[in-house]
Amino acid sequence: MKTGIPAPFGILLLVASGLSAQSFDLGLDSSASYSQTAVTSASATQSLSLGLMLPLGRNARIVSRTAASASYSNTAGSSSLSYPGSLGGIDIPELSISFAGPVQEQELDFLSFALGRLPYIDSTAYLFAYRIDGMILGATWPLGTLRTVLGYTGFMPSSAPIVPSTADSSFGSGDFAPPRAVSSFSFRTPRVLGHEVYLAFTSQADMREKSQLVPEYETVFDSQSGGSASSGYLSTGFSGSPLAGLTWSGFGIYQVGRRLSYIEDSSSATGYSYRYSPLRAWLFGAQARYSLNPLLSLSFRGLVASGDADSSNSSDGNTEGDATLFLPMTRGSTGLVFSPLPGNLTQLELGLSFKPFPAERIGLLSVQLASSTFGFAKNAVGPVSEAGILPAAQAGLLGFEQDFSISVRLLSDTTLTTSLGAFMPLAGVYDQGYVDASPYQYLVRVGLSIAL
């Protein structure tokens, strides 16, 4: 997959870093999985990553991380094989120059700056969690920390988890991700009584060409295209530790902007026309983790998000009044099998992590067991992002999922992990034919990771 960085430029950077790098890491990851959902699929992936860090004095450095992978997949009898055919097809997860250090000017305590291809996670971790081409600037005063983020996603590989609009899905972007200009401004307070609070505004601007978007006031319905995905998110939240062994956090997000809607119009020859309607959607979440002892820890996570009863699809299909379906910028991960977007859903997760021999760091006795139980419910009439769910169905349970994983650190640099997930969709909210075709859905995955 292509990354938009010319091969000669990448070679020079890698060589320059390799000549004088003071630290590097090499990773080799192998995985194989088999799943039975609405279709049967199997896959195997082999990936290699190389990370280099070149110090530039005490507070600055250059970081480069390059990855290449080969994979085979077979879905419903159709197989495909992919591999990097040239250096231009190698993914570059990170390539940056950064500075971070104390600054004693005008009461400024600490300053950080990074430029290039950078990992970025927003303050809530539920809006954007991927990487950008751009810059991140942070400044800390006694009263708090300000962070500014400016970036672009259009040179990321097509496998990037950017949530696509109808236009993105129909026209595609070649070897690249949907083009979005991302910006964020956040403020975080100092820790007081073990807690800190943050306030942030994050936005995305759809950079797709206007010729690929349906123009406002168009009267003929176009199922192959849609409107702009531009929107803004106002978020606030807290995190901290009220008791020994217990950490918790909570947040709220309010999404604003405009969303293209196909609504009734008596002056139109078709009786309908495209108009941009106000976008007002929300997401609330909370999570907690409690370590009882070195052997056992428990966790909880809950999410609830607004939906849109009159929307015709799970992206930009509003047909009446305000658009109220919540959509994040990137797709997150929930269960191994069922991992929907949060819009129009309530999600609950209970987790357990158990390490029977905490003193053992290497060998078969270093085994760590983890279990996660998920419950999913549809909040109201309207679409949900996953297949088989009836938009016209009332609020109700979608299903339950149980995931298990076992990991063993065989050597100091080698970890073996086996994961199993099983999801049971429930009739009523799901289409009955979908439930009959796959009453139980499961996934089995085995992975071996070597980090040098």
Neighbours of 128 (CB within 10 A): 28
* Distance set, CA 32 to CA 36, 41, 446 (Å): 14, 11, 5
Beta-strand runs (E) in 87-225: 91-105, 108-121, 129-141, 144-152, 180-188, 195-206
Q: At residue 8, does pLDDT exceed 80?
A: no
Question: What are the beta bridge partners of residue 13?
Answer: none
pTM of the predicted structure, to 2 decimals: 0.90
As a whole number of angstroms, the distance between CA 400 and CA 418 comes to: 21
Task: At 176, give phi and psi (nearest 5°).
Answer: -120, 165
Mean pLDDT of 270-290: 95
Question: How far is the C-alpha of 120 from the C-alpha of 128, rounded, in Å?
Answer: 7
Tokens of 292: 């009882």
Average pLDDT rounded to a whole number, residues 218-245: 93
**Band of pLDDT at residue 438, cut at 50, 70 and 90:** confident
- Token pair, residue 92, equals 């570059």
pLDDT at position 89 is 61
Does the structure show a pLDDT above 80 at 21? no
Check pLDDT > 60 for residue 17: no
Select the more confidently predicted residue: 187 or 261.
187
Say if residue 3's pLDDT is above 90: no
Among the listed ranges 4-18, 41-55, 159-173, 209-223, which one has the minimum average pLDDT value?
4-18
The mean pLDDT value of the chain amounts to 89
Q: What is the pLDDT of residue 42?
A: 95
What's the per-residue H, E or C state across 413-448? CEEEEEEEEEEEECECCECHHHHHHCCCEEEEEEEE
Of 224, 242, 125, give the one whose Cα is nearest residue 184.
125
DSSP 145-166: EEEEEEEE-TTSBTTS-BPP-H
- pLDDT at residue 211 in the model: 86
Q: What is the mean pLDDT of residues 158-182?
A: 86
pLDDT of residue 85: 60
Tell me the average pLDDT across 354-377. 92
Nearest one of 405, 403, 404, 409 to 358, comparing CA atoms? 409
224 three-state secondary structure: coil
**Region of poorest pLDDT, from 35-39, 271-275, 289-293, 372-376:** 35-39
DSSP 189: P
